[in-house]
A = this chain, B = another copy of it.
Amino acid sequence: MSSVPPQDAAPAPVRTPGKRNAAATRQRILDVAMAEFSAHGFSGSRIERIAAGASANVGMIYHYFGNKDDLYLAALEASYKIIRDREQTLDIAHCDPRQALRALIELTFDFLATDPHFVRLIMNENLMMGRTAGRSATIPHMTRPLLEQLRTLLARGQKEKIFHREMDAENLYISILGLCFVHVSNRYTLGSMFQHDFAEPDWLARRKAIVVDVVTRSIVATPAK
């Protein structure tokens, strides 16, 4: 708010936020929509709340996104893009396979735990039986690099006899996902079972080590950890 960049006498066209700035308005709507759909699911989300949250009005949402369904699609795609981009920051090909695996698990664990928006959107999308993801042209396209990383990782580890042969990329990924996802997706029902908050940083730190351990044990050929 009060922290303005020190000297900024640049003649660049400074737009007042929310006034006559198409790209900015569109982005504000999209950001708020991601949060709204994540918080309330598709049916529970309210167009009017999104408009208000974006300091826009309902008509703008329809102007930029067409309808509620398409706004939801845009929010889903934008969410996928964030995690898929993050994964591509890992340099899988050039470090020790065991280290690379650990790095991938920790990145996934931290991403899902730190920003639960993504988990919630994915849950909601699955509850709707993939209705929207199935319509997306960009989502399948975004998953390819991740699969490449996994296959490279497994191939190198198996070539170096560090990993055993009986694990494929799909099963490895699903194990990682399941172990990184469930305490976020089931945070509240687990919480009422075990009577503590599964978003606590201390618990997450300990759990992250266990997840790395469980996955690593499941794949390493040599028993010595």
Contacts and interface: CB of A to CB of B under 8 A. Distances in A.
- How many chain copies does the complex carry? 4
Contacts of A67: none
A68 to B, nearest CB: 13
A136 to B, nearest CB: 8
A188 B134 contact: yes
Nearest to A169: B194
A4 interface: no
Contacts of A130: 187-189, 191-192
Interface stretch (A53-61, A94-102, A174-182): A174-182
Interface of A: 40-44, 120, 122-127, 129-130, 133-134, 136, 139-140, 143, 147, 170-171, 174-175, 177-183, 185-195, 207, 210, 213-215, 217-218, 223
List the 3 closest A-B pairs by CB distance, nearest first: A130-B188, A178-B182, A223-B223
12 contacts: A123-B185, A124-B127, A125-B188, A134-B192, A174-B207, A175-B214, A177-B186, A178-B181, A178-B183, A214-B217, A214-B218, A223-B223
